């Protein structure tokens, strides 16, 4: 009964809407001078203001305003000459004031767009994602629900509260509805979040680490029949903590919606939570009855009125756009389209560039990061920049291979060692005693031993059947624990067998 993805696309058009929350990397919080450093002991980065003690007042962090304007400019938005903070009122223990200071009908930036390019069956294609608004708000604290099976508030024995995160500046970037992506909806969404992340990283306004929650995406998805004129009911999926999850979550929601619609059901307007392990979403709070947040302008804060001259100064300081940078890098490194797309897809551009800037050959840097290092990251299910290996390590490794001190095969062992935290490539080489066996005597001993053990094969080679040499070379390599240079072995072996 359930349709597969191609059948869903045949019958329905998906409509997307993406809300991205970005934690700014300001040194202090949005409305007080508390530190924003991640990972401190619970409740050590708090003060009367962010704990909402009686009488405490918020004061806006100017740096957060600057970062928000930069973001708006980079997303081609208009910057409001006058905007205000509003209070979003609702009770929740991890929100000290029981209202969140946010922006409501007067966001600081509005009406922008981001262009993203994805690979389609017909080649690369550009999609424009329109930005509705960019607004500032403060983060809430964190609840840890202890006891119970699910780690959720229901069924927990008790809850612990950590207010270190309360008041960290957030910027929310909201798209207009995104129609017309068809079967590429998941890829477009992923490309959009990736582009945003690159833009934000380029601006230097956020750590943009999805796994630490400094960039969080809520994905709204709905389906409409191909000939329909009205939008379908949407679901809003939260807890999407990686680029891959953005793609999976949207694809999963499209399939789930289609299954409901195909069986004559109605999609519920609700919040859903993405499950990293299954790739499915589970129901959260129902939004059928819209909550009344009783928004009103925060009387403790004054309107934000950035001067036009300041905005222009910030505009002039904007860094190179990621899409332009990509084109530049591709040209500089002379990488074919397909390979470059693979790099973008694997998110290794920054790290390869850093490696090249340390003097490494671009092709070699790309091969290492995209190949061996990516493979290890995949095996461990972690992001590539979470591994202990750095651009400096890879640059050093490439040098060691170039100078003949390591073979490619040995270098892979060194990478393993670096990832395992054994130190720099040179240190790993020293500790593990890895070296290329170039000693003819040792190699000859191994060759003689192998040829004696595989006398029939050796005879074939001696008789001029050269392809048989491969097996013998392999055996010699094994005999020397991979430390021999295969070309050298081949040369000596053939000589030994009179060829």
Burial of 207 per CB tally in 10 Å (0-12, 13-18, 19+)? middle
Question: Can you read off the two tokens belonging to residue 450?
Answer: 């192998």
Show the beta-strand stretches assigned E in 164-316. 169-175, 215-225, 235-240, 270-274, 281-286, 296-297
Q: How far is the CB of 235 from another protein (least distance, A)?
A: 23
The only residue of 2, 37, 40, 57 in contact with another protein, by rule CB under 8 A: 57
Question: Of 37, 40, 53, 357, which one interacts with another protein (CB under 8 A)?
Answer: 53
- CB of residue 86 to another protein, shortest distance in Å: 10
Smaller CB separation from another protein, 68 or 214: 68
Burial class (CB in 10 A: 0-12, 13-18, 19+), 415: buried
Question: CB of 87: closest distance to another protein in angstroms?
Answer: 5
Instruction: Say if residues 66 and 314 touch (Cβ distance below 8 Å).
Output: yes
**Nearer to another protein by C-beta: 84 or 197?**
84
Measured from the CB atom, the residue of 194 and 301 that comes closer to another protein is: 301
Build a one-symbol-per-residue string for 93-122: x at contacts with another protein by CB under 8 A, - elsewhere.
x--xxxx-----------------------
Distance of closest approach, residue 91 Cβ to another protein, in angstroms: 6
What DSSP string runs through 11-36?
HEEEEEEEEEEEE---SB-SSS--B-
Q: Give the interface segment with another protein, choosing from 92-100, 118-126, 232-240, 365-373 (CB under 8 A).
A: 92-100
Could you tell me which stretch among 49-57, 70-78, 312-320, 471-479 binds another protein (CB under 8 A)?
Answer: 49-57
Structure tokens, 100: 């969140």
Asked if 48 interacts with another protein (CB under 8 A), we say yes
When the beta carbons of 5 and 296 are compared against another protein, the nearer one is 296
The least CB distance from residue 169 to another protein, in Å, is 15
Q: Which of residues 286-315 bind another protein (CB under 8 A)?
A: 290, 292, 294-296, 299-302
Phi-psi map region of 239: left, alpha, beta (phi>0 left; psi -120 to 50 alpha): left
Nearest Cα to Cα of residue 152 among 291, 284, 269: 284
Judged by CB under 8 A, which of 87, 238, 272, 364 binds another protein? 87
User: Which member of 51, 224, 341, 342 binds another protein (CB under 8 A)?
Assistant: 51
Comparing C-alpha atoms, which of 456, 451, 439 is closest to residue 476?
451
| Shortest Å distance, C-beta 70 to another protein | 22
Is residue 442 at the binding interface for another protein, with CB under 8 A as the rule?
no
Q: What is the DSSP code string of 91-130?
A: --TTSTTSEEEE--SS-SEEEEEEEEEEEETTEEEEEEEE
Binding flag, residue 146, another protein (CB under 8 A)? no
Nearest Cα residue to 208 out of 192, 197, 195 = 197
In the bound state with another protein, the residue whose beta carbon lies nearer, of 198 and 298, is 298
Q: Which of residues 161-200 bind another protein (CB under 8 A)?
A: 161
What is the CA 406 to chain-centroid distance, rounded?
32
CA distance 81 to 58: 22
Q: How far apart are the first and last CA of the chain?
A: 67
Stretch that binds another protein, among 54-62, 204-212, 446-454, 488-496 (CB under 8 A): 54-62
Chain contacts with another protein (rule: CB under 8 A): 48, 51-60, 87, 89, 91, 93, 96-99, 157, 159, 161, 290, 292, 294-296, 299-302
């Amino acid at each position: 009964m359930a349709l597969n993805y191609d059948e869903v696309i045949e019958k329905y058009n998906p409509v997307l809407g993406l809300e991205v929350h970005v934690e700014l990397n300001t040194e202090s919080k949005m409305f007080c001078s508390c530190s924003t450093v991640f990972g401190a002991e619970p409740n050590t980065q708090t003060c009367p203001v962010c704990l909402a003690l009686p009488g405490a007042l918020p004061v806006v962090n100017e740096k957060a305003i600057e970062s928000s304007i930069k973001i708006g400019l980079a997303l081609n938005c208009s910057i409001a000459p006058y905007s205000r903070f509003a209070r979003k009122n609702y009770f929740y223990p991890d929100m000290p004031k029981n209202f969140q200071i946010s922006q409501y009908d007067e966001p600081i930036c509005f009406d922008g767009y981001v262009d993203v390019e994805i690979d389609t069956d017909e080649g690369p294609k550009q999609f424009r994602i329109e930005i509705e608004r960019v607004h500032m708000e403060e983060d809430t604290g964190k609840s840890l629900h202890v006891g119970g099976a699910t780690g959720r508030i229901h069924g927990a024995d008790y809850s612990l509260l950590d207010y270190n995160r309360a008041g960290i500046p957030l910027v929310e970037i909201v798209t207009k509805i995104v129609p017309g992506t068809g079967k590429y909806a998941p890829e477009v969404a992923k490309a959009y979040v990736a582009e945003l992340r690159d833009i934000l990283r380029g601006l230097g306004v956020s750590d943009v680490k999805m796994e630490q929650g400094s960039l969080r995406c809520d994905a709204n998805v709905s389906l409409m029949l191909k000939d329909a004129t009205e939008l379908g009911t949407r679901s809003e999926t939260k807890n999407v903590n990686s680029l891959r999850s953005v793609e999976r979550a949207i694809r999963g929601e499209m399939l789930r919606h289609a299954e409901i619609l195909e069986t004559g059901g109605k999609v519920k307007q609700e919040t859903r939570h993405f499950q990293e392990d299954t790739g499915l979403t589970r129901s959260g709070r129902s939004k059928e009855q819209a909550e009344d947040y009783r928004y009103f302008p925060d009387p403790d804060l004054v309107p934000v009125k950035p001067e036009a001259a300041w905005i222009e100064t910030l505009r002039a300081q904007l860094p190179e756009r990621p899409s332009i940078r990509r084109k530049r890098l591709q040209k500089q490194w002379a990488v074919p389209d397909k390979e470059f797309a693979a790099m973008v897809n694997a998110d290794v551009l920054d790290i390869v560039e850093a490696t090249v800037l340390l003097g490494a050959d671009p092709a070699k840097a790309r091969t290492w990061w995209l190949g061996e290092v990516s493979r290890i990251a995949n095996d461990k299910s972690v992001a590539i920049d979470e591994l202990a290996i750095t651009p400096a390590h890879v640059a050093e490794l490439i040098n060691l291979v170039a100078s003949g001190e390591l073979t490619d095969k040995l270098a892979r062992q060194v990478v393993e060692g670096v990832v395992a935290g054994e130190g720099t490539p040179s240190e790993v080489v020293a500790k593990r005693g890895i070296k290329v066996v170039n000693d003819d005597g040792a190699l000859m001993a191994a060759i003689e031993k192998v040829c004696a053990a595989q006398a029939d094969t050796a005879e074939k080679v001696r008789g001029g059947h050269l392809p048989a040499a491969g097996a013998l070379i392999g055996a010699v390599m094994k005999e020397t624990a991979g430390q021999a240079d295969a070309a050298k072995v081949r040369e000596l072996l053939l000589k030994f067998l009179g060829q």
